[in-house]
Amino acid sequence: MESISARERVYRARRIGTTFGRVYLGIKANQLVQARWHPADMRERWSRFNRRSAESIYDAAVELRGLVLKGCQFLGSRSDVLPREYVEVLSKLQDRVPPKPFSVVRRTVERELRRPIEDVFEEFSVSPIASASLAQVHAARLRGGERVAVKVQYPEVAALVRSDLANLRLLFRAIDVIERKIDLMPLIDELGTHVPRELDFVSEADNAERSAKQLSQRTDVRIPRIHREWTTRRVLVMEFVDGIKITDVAALRAAGIDVQRVVQTLIEVYCEQVLVHGFFHADPHPGNLLVEPGTARLVMLDFGLAKELPPGFREAVVRVAAALLKDDADGLAAALFDMGFETRTGARGALAPAARFFLDFAARFREQPFVNPRMFEQLGEEMPEMIRENPIVRVPSHIVLIGRVLGLLSGVSRSLGSRADLLRTLLPYALGQRGAAPPA
Q: Is the distance from CB of 255 to CB of 293 less than 8 angstroms?
A: yes
| Residue 229: C-alpha distances to residues 120, 197, 236 (Å) | 10, 20, 10
Q: Where are the beta strands (DSSP E) in 165-312?
A: 221-222, 235-239, 244-245, 279-281, 289-291, 298-300, 306-308
Q: Where are the beta strands (DSSP E) in 336-438?
A: 342-343, 392-394
Give one DSSP letter per residue of 36-83, joined into a string: HH--TTHHHHHHHHHHHHHHHHHHHHHHH-HHHHHHHHHHTT-TTTS-
**Distance separating the N- and C-terminal Cα atoms of the chain:** 49
Q: Strand pairing partners for 300?
A: 289
Burial of 314 (0-12, 13-18, 19+ CB in 10 A): middle
Q: Where are the beta strands (DSSP E) in 154-300?
A: 221-222, 235-239, 244-245, 279-281, 289-291, 298-300
Catalytic residues: 283
Q: Are strands 147-153 and 235-239 parallel, antiparallel or unpaired?
A: antiparallel
